[in-house]
Amino acid sequence: MYSGKKQSHITVQGQRIAEVGVNQGLEEHDFVLALQTPLQKELLQKCGHKRIVCVDATHGTNSYDFLLLMVLVVDELGEGFPIAWCYSNKEDSTAITIFFQHLRDRVGNIEPEWFMSDDASQYCSGWCTVFGGSPKKLLCSWHLDRAWRNAVSRHINNKQLQIEVYHTLRLLFEEGNCEQFQVSSGNKIQSLNIVISILSMNIPEDVLNGLYHTGKKQVLTQICI
């Protein structure tokens, strides 16, 4: 938390645990406040390693234009649970990396198999810089749908073709049964090949034929983004 001097403080559980000087990339006016309870620490250690970690930030929710960055894991019941918060006046790679560094100092190394965020690169790159590993990147369904809509509108002028392409992508995304997906995927993947050809994209064959991996659905982040 900014103290009026040339340093910023990282705070966890209401106690200052580190002073971050301007030589680490923060400016004199920057504000960073990180919060984590003992329960959140335990859940991150228990449910984050070799599983999934999700990160997102709010925007425009207060008059000070501060951002709330949240780290979340999925518990044993399949429910999302926030395991750390960070209030800051910015969400660039410097602030995010500093937050993750002090989180790692507190909980130890966490290497999830999956990392979910929006399509901003600084979240995943900052996590990998601090925690290491190379988790598979996922977009949440809202950001994925927005990226598809924007790309379809950007690359295709014909309105009817836009509808057909988007419908094909949604059918692939929403099929939740692996066996049913395999049965019906032939025609859809053929249609998808046509879509990709139209969009002049080079999607590897193994991506098209490997939309499911070890029985788990993979979000199609490499298509139309």
pLDDT in tens, 9-40: 444 444 444 455 544 677 778 888 889 999 99
Quote the pLDDT of residue 192: 60
Quote the pLDDT of residue 8: 44
Per mean pLDDT, which range of 41-55, 65-79, 176-190 is the poorest? 176-190
- Under the banding of pLDDT at 50, 70 and 90, the label for residue 130 is very high
Q: Which of the following CATH numbers is that of domain 34-139: 2.40.50, 2.60.120, 3.30.110, 3.30.420?
A: 3.30.420
Instruction: Find out whether 73 and 54 touch, Cβ atoms under 8 Å.
Output: yes
Say which residue, 81 or 202, is predicted with more confidence. Answer: 81
Pick from 91, 84, 89, 121: nearest CA to 105? 84
Quote the pLDDT of residue 142: 83
Residue 145 has pLDDT above 70, yes or no: yes
Quote the pLDDT of residue 157: 80
Pick from 116, 225, 117, 216: nearest CA to 169? 225
Per mean pLDDT, which range of 48-52, 62-66, 185-189 is the poorest? 185-189
Instruction: Find out whether 28 and 98 touch, Cβ atoms under 8 Å.
Output: no
Residue 221 has pLDDT above 60, yes or no: no
Quote the pLDDT of residue 104: 94
- Domains of the chain, by residue range, sit at 34-139, 141-217
Quote the pLDDT of residue 197: 59
Percent share of the chain, pLDDT over 90: 28
Distance CA 27, CA 22 (A): 6
DSSP assignment string, 68-99: EEEEEEE-TTS-EEEEEEEEES--SHHHHHHH
Average model confidence (pLDDT) across the chain:
75
How do residues 60-117 score in pLDDT, each as one tens digit? 777 777 889 999 999 888 899 999 999 888 888 888 998 999 899 999 999 999 999 8
User: What angle in degrees, to the nearest 10, is found between the helix axes of 159-174 and 178-198?
Assistant: 150
Pick from 157, 147, 164: nearest CA to 223? 147
Q: 11 is written with which tokens?
A: 């705070």
CA 7 from centre of chain: 29
Quote the pLDDT of residue 113: 94
- End-to-end CA gap in the chain: 37
Q: Could you tell me the pTM of the whole model? A: 0.67
The alpha carbon torsion through 84, 88, 94, 96 (nearest 10 deg) reads 20
